[in-house]
Amino acid sequence: MRSDWKLLLLMAAAFAAANAQDLVSMKYKVFPFCNCPPSGFPYSLSPPKDYGNGKYCFTLLVDTSSSTEACARAGLYKIEFNVNPACDKWSLDIKATINGNFSLQKPDFHFPASPPAPPVFSLNIPVDQCRALANKVVDEFIAQAEGVGARLLSPLNPEPYCEGSLVKVCLTFASNADAEKLEPYALTMADTWAGFLLDSIGCPSEFSPFNVVVSIRGDGTWPDAPASKCLNAEASRNCKPLPIRFPPCNCTTTVGATPFALLPYTETVPGTKKDRVQYCFRTAVVQPNDPNSRCGSSDTLAKIEFWANETMRRSVLGVYVRPSDADTFRYIAPSWAAVGEQTFKVTPLRWSKAQADGGKVCLEFNQNVDLSSFCLTNSSRKVCWMSLFSPDNKCCPLFLAASI
Ligand SMILES: *[C@@H]1O[C@H](CO)[C@@H](O)[C@H](O)[C@H]1NC(C)=O
Ligand SMILES: *[C@@H]1O[C@H](CO)[C@@H](O)[C@H](O)[C@H]1NC(C)=O
Ligand SMILES: *[C@@H]1O[C@H](CO)[C@@H](O)[C@H](O)[C@H]1NC(C)=O
Ligand SMILES: *[C@@H]1O[C@H](CO)[C@@H](O)[C@H](O)[C@H]1NC(C)=O
């Protein structure tokens, strides 16, 4: 048994480009994102040695002592690295050598085969919004307390605590009896503030459903603040994001309806001329939710449609597409749907599953055009909504991509 093969990689090569956010809906959430035993295999890599200029080398180690017989017989077929998807740029050239010879197949990026989840936006309440909310709560609370003659101790302008999605503000009563005077009003107050908070956050379509909870309790750390001896109330409001009205046709928009998917991030690369820029999207192939259904058995990606601002008609200078089996990008003329449909079309693609597995679609603009002025969304986030169409236009899973 050879036991000290040298494996040389001329850059941190990457085969499984996934990040934590994309893994939310994936079947195998832990690297290597597949159904394979994590141990029992005789091969491992030494820690990398940095040779400078982006060259890293690993030594392949073989230890058969604890390997299962089946694994020891299987041989070494490929090596996957879990990488930051931001590194997955077509301009990035990665080569691998094994004992000094280039590997037969060039290293390539690949997305694990499960529907990529939309990016998870964490809800951060900006500090000024947090303070405004805290001030409103304190003012209304003090007014209510004065109305029923419940005495509060100073400070009556407490410093609010703002962190992430938590807004906390504390007031002190002169006694338990004073606090109890507010009991009949606590639930109404909590409910009003929950409604106010939800109104100020809004319920944009790219959010997953979430709850706004307002709790009046003793001081402590959310969510474990202790019940107070005298005044407790809790109210919550639910945000169910409204579906967006795109694409403007009757087709199945569910992610995973077809085997085709878009990765949830965009990348920016130089354009074909000095003063131009390209925004690129990457297609992927996933396990459809129901492989036997009409959409699930679809095997061609016919076109991609973007929800876009049609006043930008003249801003798109070109569309460049590259299926995974091509070395170069093909130019497609920009194309828009009928006026009023706010739909930009990348067509025709007619990609097979193999071609869509790692395909790229880039839109070219003048350098001063921001992708967020082209893509329409009904919230303040910079995201693009896109549908991947089957040839019969019946299946059009809708994806969201944010720039990274
Ligand atoms: C590297 O390439 C040379 C020449 O093609 C060949 O003789 C040698 O066996 C190769 N080494 C490995 C480890 O494949
Ligand atoms: C988002 O769109 C939905 C329907 O398309 C609409 O009802 C909702 O008000 C919009 N939300 C915002 C924040 O614009
Ligand atoms: C959408 O299409 C489905 C089947 O393809 C059909 O049953 C349904 O009535 C259509 N809805 C509308 C609004 O056209
Ligand atoms: C489209 O862009 C124009 C000009 O930039 C802007 O005035 C308009 O509000 C945008 N339309 C939508 C639906 O956002």
Instruction: Using most ligand atoms within 8 A of CB, pick from 242, 246, 307, 380 the residue to mutate for ligand 2.
Output: 242
Residue range 240-267, pLDDT digits in tens: 776 788 999 899 998 889 999 988 778 8
Ligand found nearest the CA of 396: 3
Instruction: Provide the pLDDT for residue 212.
Output: 87
Q: Which of 258-272, 334-348, 363-377 has the lowest mean pLDDT?
A: 258-272
The protein residue with its alpha carbon nearest to ligand 1, atom 3, reads 101
- The answer on pLDDT for 40 being more than 80 is no
Domain boundaries, the chain: 6-102, 127-239, 260-403
Structure tokens belonging to residue 309: 């601002």
CA distance 24 to 115: 9
Torsional class of 358: left (φ above 0), alpha (ψ -120 to 50), beta (otherwise): left
Q: How far is CA 51 from CA 10, 12, 45, 95, 341, in A?
A: 9, 12, 16, 15, 54
Q: Is 205 in the pocket of ligand 2 (CB under 6 A)?
A: yes
More confident residue, 352 or 399: 352
Using DSSP bridges, classify how beta strands 16-17 and 82-83 pair: parallel, antiparallel or unpaired: parallel
- The answer on pLDDT for 85 being more than 80 is no
What is the chain's mean pLDDT, rounded? Answer: 83
Q: Is 101 in the pocket of ligand 1 (CB under 6 A)?
A: yes
The protein residue with its alpha carbon nearest to ligand 1, atom 10, reads 101
Instruction: Provide the pLDDT for residue 9.
Output: 32
Instruction: Provide the pLDDT for residue 402.
Output: 76
Whole-prediction pTM value? 0.59
Ligand found nearest the CA of 376: 4
Residue range 273-292, pLDDT digits in tens: 999 999 999 898 888 989 99
* Domain 260-403 fold: Immunoglobulin-like (2.60.40)
Average pLDDT of 46-67?
A: 87
Q: How far is CA 20 from CA 84, 204, 285, 400, in A?
A: 10, 22, 19, 16
The protein residue with its alpha carbon nearest to ligand 4, atom 10, reads 309
Question: How many angstroms separate the alpha carbon of residue 363 from the centre of ligand 4?
Answer: 19
Instruction: Provide the pLDDT for residue 27.
Output: 58
CA distance 300 to 170: 59
- The answer on pLDDT for 164 being more than 50 is yes
Structure tokens belonging to residue 75: 């041989």
The protein residue with its alpha carbon nearest to ligand 1, atom 8, reads 101
